[in-house]
Amino acid sequence: MTIEAGQQLSHYRLIEKIGEGGMGVVWKAEDTRLHRNVALKFVSEAGIENPDTVDRHLREARAVASLNHPNICAIYDIGEWEGRRFIVMELLEGRGLDEQIQGEPLDIETAIELAIQIADALGAAHAKSIVHRDVKPANLFVTNSGQSKVLDFGIAKLSADSEGQAGPDDATRTSLDVTTPGSVVGTVSYMSPEQALGKPLDARTDVFSLGVVLYEMITGRRAFDGVTSAALFDAILNRAPTAPVELNSDVPIELQRVVNRAIEKDPAVRYQSAADLVADLKRLKRDASDDRAVTDPLAATARGRRPRSVVIASIIVVVTLVALFVVATRTTLLTSESELKPAPGTAASDSSGRPTIAVLPFTNTSGEADQEFFSQGLTEEIINGLARYRELSVISKLATTDYKSNHPELDTRDAGAVLGAQYILEGSVVKVENQIRVSVQLSDTSDGRSAWGTKYDRELTTANFFSIQDDVTAQVVNAIAGMYGALARVKLESLRRKPPESLDSYACVVLGYEYLYVHTDETHLRARECLEAAIEAEPNYAEGLAWLAYMYAEEYHHRRNERIDEYDALDRALELGLEAVQLDNTSHYTHGFLTFTYFFRGDYERGSIQGHRAIELMPQNAMWLALLGIYLSQIEDFEQGIPMLRRSRELDPNPPAWLGMGFFLDHYMHDRYEEALESAKRIRLGDDFRMPMFLAAAYGQLGRAAEAAPWLEELRNTLRFPLGELRAELISRQSMSPAISDRLIEGLTKAGLELEP
């Protein structure tokens, strides 16, 4: 039987097909008796002869028919027409939760509200002894009004508690979506450990699956994943997922605790019911509403303050925790840093030419004892973070503490002269109720001017005390010393005012920084020639080798200053990159720059390994997160790449303009062309052909050829190769997947570009 629009099935008139999957086909239809639109779900044509499929269809109807809940898609009727069984369902308008997430985290409040509704619906099913067993984003719907609906109870079953046994072969039921070993797996990602093992199930399996869904809602990525079934089952059974706050800094620590409890591998220590989960989520929602009641906590009056006894009690707890932390760290510092105190008046850079920075003790302006410990701990953490950058020389804390105690009125230039520092970092901490503000400023001691400054506002509780320190430290350190940080920008400005008089190694590395900022043939040639001379004079300078390898990789990547008659640039990049890693396996530069070379060679596995190693060595450096995130996105691994790009953007207050390429590709390959266009407009790539290509392709997919025309013209003008070789260029020299390359060319063709064969 062929089903077509306009057909009359009993008193239902088919209007249009609105969905299709392996198990069924869904049509929008009109109920001519009640004059309302409904959804008709048919067993798929392929499944008509399969008793299991028909049985699943009937089971879904019976299960949902026994439930009456606003967050469960209602079943109105069940019927049969010419041998085709169908269910009459509530017609929903909106989109699936999987479509809403698409690799990006939802707003935290939205995620909590949806999770409350879903958990409440599952609780209603559990009260009827019905376990869903297939909770996943594809089976959860969000209406246009923001209401969640639980769908597809096709593999639901009565719990063992009501049946007195586990029921039909659970191992078979839970493997419906499992593919053969070694292939990519689907919805197994949301199974509980006991479900994956084929054990008897109860309501707690749905709680686990919902916890996994909530994790994905707040992070944009799956909690458990793997390219093979074996890897995925191992993750579910044995491995803890990355902490949500590491993937999304907006996640409250209490929400992370809720998620962690929901996805406990042992059902005995998991939430024992959906109702328990709902209670904690509602408490979170209420507390978040209370926090928002004070619109500017730092300017708030005594209105709405907590009782004094509660404030005092929280301060005592915080002071106790921090005092233990500070005593432990200062014991180490006193034994190791006393020998590092510099002599007054030493040069602003050390013997290797590295710039010297002094971090003055942060000032506690709150007048509260607990904040004194916080400001001290924050100072030490920032010093330790900056000390990890070997291109910096950091003055010891004892020296800066002595200076500040003797010079309460700070004069930046005097401090630089006394401490022998080219840069001074100072800051203050102020607390009002449970909100804390950290202000930070970096100054150049040569003229006293401010090189960089910012403020961080955070909620301060005992639970998140150390996470605030870590968060602020990472952002401050990256903003100062990261590849696109304040020190690099100040150094470049100085370099442009007065070119280096000698080709010493550090000056050449600074020219490498300049190329990172300004991608042109001129800056590339200047850095490459300088680094070649530096390596000839100092052949064992590992980071110089790494930077030079990067210049050769860029020579291949962008066809800059090519010398194809003399050498193969990519081979030379690999040779020097491997030599740099061998000389210094602990440098984030040596591993990070090798990432480029491997990706340009099409060796994505080795490139990914090197990129992750650079991130491990310098996790607060936004550059490596952005780099690996971009290249993973270019091979369509958006699930890993996009969270890296978001984290990079959080860490770096001045992110590189090319960061948007990953977001563009994610939107573009998921047919979100309007969003792709907005991302493309923010990309700045100098004389690179990709920016006009991205804009023209997005306009082309949107059917706006007239607006694409000037970008097509710019694309033609910036190409360094024949237009007919565009696809090969994208795949080989730009490291883009064939699918992305083809989709970009499709957009360009729609925009009016004619590609020569």
CATH number of the domain to which 494 belongs: 1.25.40.10
In 3D space, the residue among 526, 586, 515, 529 whose CA is nearest the CA of residue 557 turns out to be 515
Least confident of 359-373, 424-438, 506-520: 359-373
* Residue 631, token pair as written in the block: 């290249």
Strand-pairing partners, residue 437, are 430, 457
What mean pLDDT value characterizes the chain? Answer: 78
| Residue 632 covered by a domain | no
Q: How confident is the model at residue 245 (pLDDT cuts 50, 70, 90)?
A: confident
Specify if 630 maps to a domain.
Answer: no
Structure tokens, 178: 């499992």
Please report which helix (H) or strand (E) contains residue 516, including its range: helix 505-517
| pLDDT at site 516 | 77
The tally of domains found in the chain comes to 5
Alpha-carbon distances, residue 460 vs 6, 229, 252, 435, 647 (angstroms): 62, 42, 11, 6, 21
627 found inside a domain: no
Residue 485 has pLDDT above 80, yes or no: no
Q: Are residues 222 and 283 in the same domain?
A: yes
Residue 43 has what pLDDT? Answer: 74
Nearest 5°: the CA angle 388, 392, 396 is: 75
CA angle 24, 29, 32 (to 5 degrees): 140
Please confirm, yes or no, whether 134 is among the known catalytic residues: yes
pLDDT for the residue numbered 58: 67
Give the mean pLDDT of 12-27.
Answer: 82
pLDDT at res. 737: 94
Determine the average pLDDT of the residues in 45-53.
Answer: 57
Same domain, 593 and 712: no
- Can you tell me the distance from the alpha carbon of 699 to that of 611, in angstroms, rounded to the nearest whole number? 33
8-state DSSP, 446 = T
User: Where residue 320 falls among pLDDT bands split at 50, 70, 90?
Assistant: very low
Question: Could you please report the per-residue DSSP string of 257-315?
Answer: HHHHHHT-SSGGGS-SSHHHHHHHHHHHHHHHHHHHTSSSGGG--STTPPPHHHHHHHH
The arithmetic mean of pLDDT across residues 487-509, rounded, is: 58
* pLDDT for residue 572: 95
Rounded distance between C-alpha atoms, residue 28 and residue 426, angstroms: 64
Read off the pTM. 0.45
Task: Tell me which residue of 619, 548, 545 sits closest to 584, measured CA to CA.
Answer: 545
Give the mean pLDDT of 289-312. 38
DSSP for 712-733, please give it.
HHHHHHH-SS-GGGHHHHHHHT
Distance in angstroms between the alpha carbons of the first and the last residue of the chain: 46
Per the structure block, which two tokens stand in for 167? 């029921």
**3-state SS string over 149-164?**
EECCCCCCEECHHHHC
Residue range 557-577: mean pLDDT, rounded: 94
Q: Is 650 a domain residue?
A: no
Which phi-psi region, left, alpha or beta, contains residue 157 (left: φ > 0; alpha: ψ -120 to 50)?
beta
Q: What is the pLDDT of residue 215?
A: 95
Residues 437 and 516 in one domain: no
Q: Each residue of 223-241: pLDDT tens digit?
A: 998 777 777 888 898 888 8
- The answer to whether 452 touches 480, Cβ cutoff 8 Å, is yes
| Contact by Cβ (8 Å): 608, 597 | no
pLDDT, average across residues 417-429: 84
Specify the amino acid at residue 7: Q
pLDDT band (50, 70, 90) for residue 675: very high
Same structural domain for residues 277 and 141?
yes
Predicted local confidence at residue 259, as pLDDT: 93
CA gap 350, 390 in Å, rounded: 12
Q: Where are the alpha helices (DSSP H) in 43-103?
A: 51-65, 97-101
Residues 118, 248 within the same domain: yes
CATH of the domain at 432: 3.40.50.10610
Q: Which of 173-177, 412-416, 479-483, 689-693 has maximum average pLDDT?
A: 689-693
Of 472, 504, 532, the residue that ends a domain is 472
Per-residue pLDDT band for 687 (boundaries 50, 70, 90) equals confident
pLDDT level of residue 181 (50, 70, 90 thresholds): very low
Task: Provide the residue range defining the domain that includes 62.
Answer: 8-90
- Given this model, what pLDDT does residue 333 score? 32
* pLDDT for 471 beyond 90: no
Most confident of 392-396, 545-549, 643-647: 545-549
Look at residue 667 and tell me whether its pLDDT is greater than 80: yes
Q: Is residue 299 part of a domain?
A: no
Q: Which carries the bigger pLDDT value, residue 179 or residue 596?
A: 596
Dist. CA 638–CA 662, nearest whole Å: 8
466 and 489 both lie in a single domain:
no
CA dist 568 and 63 (Å) reads: 66
CA 32 to chain centre: 49
What average pLDDT does range 642-657 have in this prediction?
77
Cβ partners under 8 Å of residue 708, min gap 6: 695, 696, 699, 700, 751, 752
Considering only CA atoms, which of 176, 117, 177, 101 is closest in space to residue 150?
A: 117
If 0-12 CB within 10 Å is exposed, 13-18 middle and 19+ buried, where does residue 352 land?
exposed
Say what the pLDDT of residue 394 is.
Answer: 78
Give the up-direction half-sphere exposure of residue 710: CA atoms within 13 A in the CB hemisphere: 1
Q: Are residues 713 and 674 in the same domain?
A: yes
CA–centroid distance for 422 within its chain: 35
Q: Which residue has the tokens 């779900």?
A: 41
**What is the C-alpha separation between 389 and 381, in angstroms, rounded?**
14
User: Could you tell me which residues are beta bridge partners of residue 30?
Assistant: 13, 37
Q: What is the mean pLDDT of residues 165-179?
A: 34
- Are residues 416 and 351 part of one domain? yes
**Is residue 318 in a domain?**
yes
| Residue at which a domain ends, from 292, 320, 335 | 292
Of all residues in the chain, the percent with pLDDT exceeding 70 is 73
My answer on whether 465 and 352 are in the same domain is yes
Burial 216-227, CB ≥16 within 10 A → b, else e:
bbbbbbbbbbbe
Express the helix, strand and coil content of the chain in percent, nearest 5 each.
Answer: 55, 15, 35
Is residue 621 over pLDDT 50? yes
238 and 337 co-located in one domain: no
Listed in sequence order, the DSSP H helices in 635-689 are 638-651, 660-669, 673-681
pLDDT score, position 548: 96
**How far apart (Å, rounded) are the C-alpha atoms in residues 128 and 47?**
29
Q: What are phi and psi of 294, to 5 degrees?
A: -95, 105
Of 31, 134, 202, 666, the catalytic one is 134
What are 594-619's pLDDT values in tens digits? 998 999 998 988 898 888 888 877 77
159: pLDDT confidence band, cut at 50, 70 and 90? low
Q: Is the pLDDT of residue 97 over 90?
A: yes
The residue with tokens 């939802």 is 106
Cα–Cα–Cα angle for 58, 64, 68, nearest 5°?
A: 155
320 with 215, same domain: the answer is: no
Which of 344-353, 442-451, 532-541, 589-598 is least confident? 344-353
Whether 503 and 544 share a structural domain: yes
Which CATH number fits the domain that encloses residue 80? 3.30.200.20
Q: Domain boundary at 257, 292, 327, which?
A: 292
Do the domain assignments include residue 322?
Answer: yes
Range name among 289-293, 416-420, 545-549 with the lowest pLDDT average: 289-293
Helix/strand number for the chain, H first, E second: 31, 17
Say whether pLDDT at 356 is over 50. Answer: yes
237: DSSP letter: H
CATH number at residue 142: 1.10.510.10
The verdict on residue 651 lying in a domain is: no
Q: What is the pLDDT of residue 318?
A: 37
Q: Percentage of the chain with pLDDT > 90?
A: 34
pLDDT at 149 (0 to 100): 94
